[in-house]
Homo-oligomer: A and B are copies of this chain.
Amino acid sequence: MITKSQKQLIKSLRHKKYRELNGLFVIEGLKCVQEAIKNDLPLTQIFCTDKFFDYFKKQTELTVFISEKEMEQISFLTHFSGALALCRLSDSLPIPISGEPKHWNLVLDEISDPGNLGSILRLADWFALPTLWISKNTVDVYNPKVIQSSMGSFSRVRVFYTDLDKVLSQTHLPIWGASLEGDNIYHQSFPESGWLIMGNESRGISPGLQRYISKRVSIPRFHPKSTVESLNVAMATSVFLSELRRCIFTR
């Protein structure tokens, strides 16, 4: 059973303004809700249809039974899955890190597509880059589509929305930037630690951050006749992180 005001609240959480106002965001889908529980995220309620009610009820008192029709009304998905949780926006996420972060750090500059950010979260999780540094004008990580496409990885990867200019101006580590005019990534030897910047889907890395880049790297195009302009940013991130890990791993 779900009240009319709860329905209105959930629908409003599609928008960043209302997520911030209510301090809540939506996690949807069996896998995503399971991961949120496993990673101790501050859930406040889990709405379940018949399909998953018994399963989640055993795990937490927060579980509420709703009908298929009610789920259809609150779900953000075309094909709703039967489990939708509300989670508190965590105040502890955007704490400043003191000192220089070690290892490799992924930096996202103005990524605008929620699906791309979700995919990159999943990649960062897989390739063990546990912290993402993200420009303030990048799409909101609590956007339902980001949460959905990260497939649970949003609950393990730490995300800092920050002034990238400030962060990058203070580092002593090498800063690599993805660029169509960069050096061939397959000819590089990755240092043990550094920053890798991925830029906006159409415009690339913003001019303000270009000055901090110590090396530009690119994925060569192999098709001689191809006029394909670029790889999608999530696909390119996939190749760069794979190369980074292979290079350090097989050293």
Chain A positions within 8 Å of B, measured between CB atoms, are 31, 35, 38, 115, 119, 122-123, 125-128, 130, 151-153, 156, 186-187, 219-229, 231-232, 234-235, 238-239, 242-243, 245-246, 249-250
Contacts and interface: CB of A to CB of B under 8 A. Distances in A.
Most-contacted residue by chain B among A31, A152, A226 (CB, 10 A): A226
Given A186-B246, A186-B250, A249-B186, A125 B238 contact: no
24 contacts: A31-B229, A35-B227, A119-B235, A122-B231, A125-B226, A126-B222, A126-B228, A126-B231, A128-B222, A128-B226, A151-B229, A152-B228, A156-B225, A156-B228, A186-B249, A187-B250, A222-B245, A231-B238, A234-B234, A235-B238, A238-B238, A242-B242, A242-B243, A243-B246
Given A128-B226, A234-B234, 4 more contacts: A126-B219, A130-B223, A156-B223, A222-B245
A249 B151 CA distance: 34
Contacts of A229: 31, 151
A219 B235 contact: no
Nearest to A222: B128
Nearest to A187: B250
Nearest 3 interchain pairs by C-beta? A128-B222, A128-B223, A238-B238
Given A125-B226, A128-B226, A219 B242 contact: yes
Contacts of A151: 228-229, 232
A129 to B, nearest CB: 9
Nearest to A123: B235
A8 B231 CA distance: 34
A147 to B, nearest CB: 14
Given A227-B152, A228-B151, A228-B153, A122 B235 contact: yes
Contact of A126 (B123, B153, B223, B243): B223
Contacts of A242: 219, 238-239, 242-243
Contacts of A224: 128
Most-contacted residue by chain B among A31, A221, A242, A243 (CB, 10 A): A242
A246 B240 CA distance: 12
Contacts of A245: 220, 222
Nearest to A242: B239
A186 to B, nearest CB: 5
Contacts of A250: 186-187
